[in-house]
Amino acid sequence: MKKFTFAALVAIAAAAFTSCGNGTPSANLKNDIDTLSYAIGMAQSDGLKDYLVQQVGVDTAYIDEFIKGLNEGATAGDDKKKAAYYAGIQIGQQIGGQMVKGLNYEVFGEDSTQSVSVKNLLAGFIAGTTGKKQIMTLEEARQTAETKMSAIKRANMEKQFGEYKKQNEKFLADNAKKEGVQTLPSGVQYKVLQAGSGTVPADTSKVLVHYEGKTIDGQVFDSSYKRGEPVEMRANQVIKGWTEALTHMPAGSKWEVCIPADLAYGERAQGQAIKPFSTLVFTIELIEVK
């Protein structure tokens, strides 16, 4: 049987059920349509309780309140005023719950003492929705959000990982002084372990490489050598530091490459091994340019 969406379920429920106050409607299976309606309702409830708890954050101690809202929403019919109100409740809860939590984690990481302003978030959201009292255009809002988020996030990460950032910067400064180490204009450092004489890839070239990546303390976070086979990739579909190195390497080369955080993941963490502001140390073997 075709699986119905929750929207379809609500429409069917509104037409087929008679509500008994705010409690559970009483089933009355007088004919095939009644039986079909009940069966669809029961079938569509599969997994709903887990969804409410895990995805929506409903406390099952208040399941009667959910049923109350469900009844009101399903029996509102074509009442546009009620439909608008219920939509506002639903989206408002998503903003106040999931969106705010997600934004706080994105901007402030594990620092639970800081939060975006829900008041100003709603002010901007409402201004954008109604077209009234707008302080900036939509395009200005997008650009401002991106710029401010990056700046605030970076400042917050520097506060949390400032000492680690200094350690990584010192590593690069010390490494630059070692014999055989060369520095590209971007800041990427490399040492030739094996000289190649083949084609130097363009940034759009496909390349076949073997590699191993480490943090400055020697912890390996990725290795094609351990997986036992080289990797094919396009030179411009990796972190900026990799693209910079690849587009200077002749095929057949094997380099040790040190990539500053700004050309890697910056203030972002990647899994457990790569902390914010990590300098990444790679052994890169360019086997073939395709």
Q: What is the CATH number of the domain that holds 236?
A: 3.10.50.40
Q: Is residue 240 part of a domain?
A: yes
Tell me, yes or no, whether 184 and 241 share the same domain: yes
Domain end call among 91, 122, 153: 122
**Per the domain annotation, does 145 fall within a domain?**
no
Q: Please identify which residue in the block is written with the tokens 């390996």.
A: 220
Q: Report pLDDT for 14.
A: 42
* Domain span holding position 220: 165-289
Task: Based on the fold, state whether residues 113 and 195 are members of the same structural domain.
Answer: no
Which of 88, 122, 156 marks a domain boundary?
122
What angle (nearest 5°) sits at the alpha carbon of residue 94, between those of residues 90 and 100?
A: 155
Task: Let me know whether 27 and 118 are in one domain.
Answer: yes
Residues 71, 12 share a domain: yes
Mean pLDDT for the chain overall: 87
Nearest CA among 28, 25, 34, 33 for reference residue 72: 25
Same structural domain, 262 and 203: yes
What is the pLDDT confidence band of residue 7, given thresholds at 50, 70 and 90? Answer: very low
- For residue 25, give the DSSP letter: P
Which residue type is seen at 243?
T
pLDDT tens, 39-65? 888 888 888 888 888 887 888 898 888
Do 88 and 184 belong to one domain? no
Amino acid (1-letter code) at residue 191: K
State both tokens at 145.
């959000």
My answer on whether 115 and 201 are in the same domain is no
Which candidate, 32, 43, 37, 50, places its Cα nearest to that of 11?
Answer: 37
Q: Is 192 helix (H, G, I), strand (E, B) or coil?
A: strand
Q: 169 with 242, same domain?
A: yes
Residues 108 and 21 in one domain: yes
Any idea which of 14-23, 40-49, 243-252 has the lowest mean pLDDT? 14-23
Are 235 and 243 in contact by the 8 Å Cβ rule? The answer is yes
Percent of the chain with pLDDT over 70: 91
Cα dist from 37 to 24, 45, 74, 93, 244, whole Å: 15, 13, 14, 30, 62
On whether the CB atoms of residues 242 and 262 are closer than 8 A, the answer is no
Task: With respect to residue 156, please indicate whether it lies within any of the assigned structural domains.
Answer: no
Q: What are the distances in angstroms from CA 263 to CA 41, 238, 240?
A: 53, 10, 5
Whether 14 is in a domain gets the answer yes
Q: Is pLDDT of 11 > 70?
A: no
Domain contains 128: no
Question: Using 50, 70 and 90 to split pLDDT, how confident is the model at 24?
Answer: low
- Do 83 and 169 belong to one domain? no
Residue 16 pLDDT > 70, yes or no? no
Does residue 221 lie in a domain region? yes
- What percentage of the chain carries pLDDT values higher than 90? 47
Element containing residue 223 per DSSP (H, E): strand 220-223
Inform me whether the pLDDT recorded for 5 exceeds 60: no
84-141: pLDDT as tens digits: 888 888 888 888 888 899 888 888 877 888 888 999 999 999 999 888 989 889 899 9
pLDDT in the model for residue 73: 81
Tokens of 149: 């988020």
From 98, 122, 146, give the residue that closes a domain: 122
CA distance between the termini of the chain: 49
Distance CA 202, CA 67 (A): 61
Extract the tokens encoding 237.
């579909």
Assess if residue 148 is contained within a domain.
Answer: no
> What is the number of other CB atoms lying within 10 angstroms of the CB of residue 20?
10
What would you report as the CA-atom Rg of the chain, rounded to the nearest whole angstrom?
28
Are 181 and 116 in a shared domain? no
Q: Averaged over 265-287, what is the pLDDT? A: 94
Nearest alpha carbon to residue 216 among 169, 281, 275: 281
Length of the chain measured in residues: 290
Q: CA 182 → CA 83, 132, 173, 179, 197, distances in Å? A: 65, 57, 12, 9, 18
Does the residue 52 lie in any domain? yes
What domain count does the chain have?
Answer: 2
pLDDT of residue 9: 43
Say if residue 285 is in the same domain as residue 170.
yes
